Structure 1
Amino acid sequence: MNRDEETVGIILAGGRGERAKPITLKSSDYIRSKALIPFVGRRLVEWMTDACRAQGVRRFYVVTHGLENRGQIKLLLGHGERFGVDITYSRSRFDRYNVGSAGATLHNLEQWDLQGRALVLPVDSLFDFDLAAMEATHSAEGAVVTVASVARTAQEIAGKYGVMRTDERGLVRGFVEKPGIGELGSLFPRTADDPAATLATNAGMYLVDCRRLRMLAREPDLFRRSHQRLDWGGDLLPHLVERGVPVATHTIGRLGDMGNVPDYLQTVQLVLDGAYEQMNRLMAAPDRTDPRCWIHESSLQTKDDVTGTTLAQKIDDGSVVVGAGVRIGRDVEIGPGVRLEHTDVGDGAEIREGAVLARSAVGESAVVGAWADITDTYLGPMAQALSDRVRPLRLEQFSAIGDGAVLWPGSRLCGVTVYPRLRVPALAGVPAQTELRRADDILRWV
């Protein structure tokens, strides 16, 4: 294929992942690249690379930022040899411009001298999309940019998502930034009359005509703005639409935003439930379909230290219940009386006797103590949620426990974030949305 006729991938991986903390933290002062967020047994950027490769993308360009971010991603992906693709990275001298998603894109399009089509993707989202269909829309409308859109109801949109105003052809005519429910009813009367009516929201993925976009970026006003902070959704797209540049929309199947803990956990659950067709094709088939679950053979043969029986034996005799939407990685030790549903369990984790987990993610080598009750919670790699029958631990309402943190038995946390490596005594009554970042924060609640 002629290089100008192929679609290349541009992965925007330079952000700091502030909203997703502590998932994006290895320690309180060491950022884990958003690209390396652990997700259903792999890192998020690995799934992204495989998903695009399965649709014909063979060349990738990764926009990074800073020593830690660049080093982590390059150590994982290399130059693409393991994935059967070719990967090029942004130059460090452009880091000062890589603070806005659109500015970073425009500067690197020039550096890489890209002329054909490019699919621009943020690294902190999961997309269910058909690239060939998106390319067909892009070509049919003669678009400079085609925006991947997700259809959402007014209730889903209100105060959370921006909305695109489109004409009958699907070309964008304007943007409404995070409107309230009343404003939506005024601007789009059909949503007031029909609660199920949907509108197009920006999914954050773009198919671009590199040559034409580069020409526009050389115009003085846009050139100046690209050397400041220029984002795709809030800056570049409105600028193009105001100029009359053809910006099309194409509806994709689904978007999973990993930008915060609740959305991350919801996306994990949807993937394990089979709601993402693309992930269904990339993942191995479930080991069991009723209920739908994956259990690695090494974990089925691992014995717990209470009964000395294997997980396979405990599932057969009913002393362990594995419900729908569960993935159990390698060498996981699970005690008797455990109940799991809609939960992802990483390699080497330990789930002790009587623990119950639902709609949660347990990182590699993490420990869940006996009789713990954990729902809607992220437990990071090597974190320890200690618990016993007399002092059971409870985590719920989108609590997030960072890498290597230790919670003592008896803790009751609802919607609380604990930063990596902290040692937290038994706490209760800590308000939701509280972030325990350092030891001083803990002392306030002891």
Structure 2
Amino acid sequence: MDSLDKKVLKDVSVVLTSGGKGTRNRPISLYSATSMIPKGLMRVMGIPLSELQIEMLRAESIGQFYIITRYLENRDQLSNRFGDGRVRFGVDIAYSEPLEDILNNGSGDAILRNITNHNIPGHSIVLANDNVYEANWTEAVKFHKERGAVITILATQMNPRETIGDYGLLDVDNTAGKVTKIIEKPKSEKELLSALNLSVSARLADIVAQVNTAGYILDNAALVAIAQEDWVVSGRRKKSGEFDMAGNLIKGLVERAYPVYAMVIDNWADLGSNPKYLKSVERALAGEFPSIDKVLASRGYTNIGNNTLVHQRTYERRYNGGKSLKDLVETGAVEIGPNVLIGSDVRIKEGVKIRYSSIEKDSNIGQNAAVSHSVIFPYCIIGENARIERSILGLQVHVNSSGDEPTTIEANSFLGPDISVPRGYHLVGVRVFPPYEFKPDTRTIAGRILMPSQQSYLKSLKE
């Protein structure tokens, strides 16, 4: 980074928001039957999301970070992992205070409170902890400052139909990038057509919409002053409803003609639900996010061809004097790729085929098993001849399988932590919550949510 770029980012800090319970990612967002993994510690290609964001922005010589947390498990796990940031990252990390978290009334209120209570000067980049962002940060901040924006929304582009039920749209003056209207998440195509002033649905195919990614660049001083205005003060005090960042604060700013702008960033992915998580990891495996590849390269990963990243220790290690993964790949005894990540200390046996998948650290893939379009969390054991397709296995899932009784897990199946699947089972589009125990009478299970019995749950609390 040259001196001019450093000057642009000199007065910039970073705010990471990690306030939810990750309910849409359950059961894979569970650490156990009674505890959760914070959104910021959910992984993409083995890297926790908030860690990726810290690595990405400290590389831009930004040294001050704030993490807004809510709920004990978010606060405790994030602060335990990152501490004050100095030893691990060479940056300063501060956390929102427990009293702030109790008082916060929505995302807009939380961000205003964080800026005010920490007396944050200059400008802030705000990122949601369940999203992946790819941007030229110097250009984004320069865009923000040159326009004198109070808030610059980091935007992405998609077909309007993709926004239904999920994302708010931005009406933008494409010449200058000024936001002229905030459109709430449309609940139906009819509502979408009305919001876009269209009468014929066929026209939607020809339109590219700008969408809010829940990432922002803020002018902190301007927002501190605006926070004193009556409409903000009264909005933050409401006991019913929340003072949301997009739906209340930004919408109110636009309606009052404050300078709010939108900038389309290079790329973005949403990991806020399990189907989106699976799709986003597959995009990352395809190389859509260079910032992820850069972090992996610094952590001992090597591209062995066919867009396959393997941790060097996994690739070269020999178990019990046997063949290394490198030997197995070079002789064709194992097929890996395209678009695969293999984490550290993963054991892979002969005959294994892995495609379009992320296999995270300390997992074991048995002989002749096949994994495709899937995410395997750390510590999983996949038995021989098992087939995993378009699914996510949470922490330490054990898939028992054999040549005589192969096990198949497919079609958007999502298994929570420490689940043990018996041999010969066929799971299709299921969600399995811990500590569920499979029953021997039904081996094919489709389209169900499998919850533990009260007896199993109470037993897990005693163990």
* Higher mean C-alpha deviation, range 95-104 or range 145-154: 95-104
Deviations 1:5-55 (A, max 9, x none): 511001111211111112321112212211111332222211110111122
Give TM-score scaled by structure 1 length. 0.91
Q: How does 1:107-122 map to 2 (within 5 A)?
A: 107-122=113-128
Helix, strand or coil for the counterpart of 1:287? Answer: strand
State the match for 1:348 in structure 2. Answer: 362
Deviations 1:203-230 (A, max 9, x none): 1101011111111112233123224522
TM superposition shift of 1:125: 0.7
State the match for 1:218 in structure 2. Answer: 228
TM superposition shift of 1:99: 5.2
Q: Percent identity?
A: 28
Q: Does 1:262 align with 2:275?
A: yes
State the match for 1:19 in structure 2. Answer: 24
Q: How does 1:331-346 map to 2 (within 5 A)?
A: 331-346=345-360
* Higher mean C-alpha deviation, range 366-375 or range 390-399: 390-399
State the match for 1:294 in structure 2. Answer: 309
State the match for 1:197 in structure 2. Answer: 207
State the match for 1:72 in structure 2. Answer: 77
Matched to 1:85, the amino acid is V
Answer yes or no: is the 8 Å Cα contact 2:144–2:261 preserved in 1: yes
Q: How does 1:353-432 map to 2 (within 5 A)?
A: 353-425=367-439, 427-428=442-443, 430-432=445-447
Matched to 2:67, the amino acid is V
TM superposition shift of 1:386: 1.2
* Higher mean C-alpha deviation, range 104-113 or range 269-278: 269-278
Q: How does 1:179-198 map to 2 (within 5 A)?
A: 179=186, 180-185=188-193, 187=196, 192-193=202-203, 195-198=205-208
Answer yes or no: is the 8 Å Cα contact 1:398–1:414 preserved in 2: yes
Deviations 1:88-108 (A, max 9, x none): 111111121335211111111
State how far apart, in whole Å, the 1-side matches of 2:53 and 2:455 are.
37
State how far apart, in whole Å, the 2-side matches of 1:206 and 1:135 are.
10
State how far apart, in whole Å, the 2-side matches of 1:420 and 1:303 are.
34
Change (3 A) 1:442 1:317: farther
Helix, strand or coil for the counterpart of 1:208? Answer: strand
Helix, strand or coil for the counterpart of 1:109? Answer: helix
Alpha-carbon RMSD: 2.6
State the match for 1:279 in structure 2. Answer: 292
TM superposition shift of 1:299: 2.2
Matched to 2:271, the amino acid is M
Helix, strand or coil for the counterpart of 1:424? Answer: coil
TM superposition shift of 1:151: 0.8
Deviations 1:41-86 (A, max 9, x none): 2222111101111223210011112332211111111111111111
State how far apart, in whole Å, the 1-side matches of 2:439 and 2:336 are.
30
Matched to 1:127, the amino acid is Y
Answer yes or no: is the 8 Å Cα contact 1:4–1:116 preserved in 2: no
Change (3 A) 1:304 1:357: farther
Q: How does 1:15-54 map to 2 (within 5 A)?
A: 15-54=20-59
Structure 1 segments unaligned to the other structure (5+ residues): none
Change (3 A) 1:288 1:122: closer
State how far apart, in whole Å, the 2-side matches of 1:310 and 1:420 are.
34
Answer yes or no: is the 8 Å Cα contact 2:285–2:340 preserved in 1: yes
Helix, strand or coil for the counterpart of 2:205? Answer: coil
State how far apart, in whole Å, the 2-side matches of 1:345 and 1:112 are.
40
Give TM-score scaled by structure 2 length. 0.88
State how far apart, in whole Å, the 1-side matches of 2:13 and 2:65 are.
6
State how far apart, in whole Å, the 2-side matches of 1:221 and 1:64 are.
26
Answer yes or no: is the 8 Å Cα contact 1:304–1:334 preserved in 2: no
Q: Does 1:247 align with 2:260?
A: yes
State how far apart, in whole Å, the 1-side matches of 2:219 and 2:356 are.
41
Answer yes or no: is the 8 Å Cα contact 2:302–2:312 preserved in 1: no
Answer yes or no: is the 8 Å Cα contact 2:58–2:91 preserved in 1: yes
State how far apart, in whole Å, the 2-side matches of 1:174 and 1:54 are.
34
TM superposition shift of 1:113: 1.0
Change (3 A) 1:337 1:5: closer
Structure 2 segments unaligned to the other structure (5+ residues): 1-5, 458-463
Query: 1:169 aligned to 176, 181, 197, which one?
Result: 176
Helix, strand or coil for the counterpart of 2:401? Answer: coil
Deviations 1:118-138 (A, max 9, x none): 111111111011111111221
Change (3 A) 1:49 1:188: farther
TM superposition shift of 1:290: 3.1
Change (3 A) 1:191 1:240: farther
TM superposition shift of 1:257: 1.0
State how far apart, in whole Å, the 1-side matches of 2:269 and 2:455 are.
32
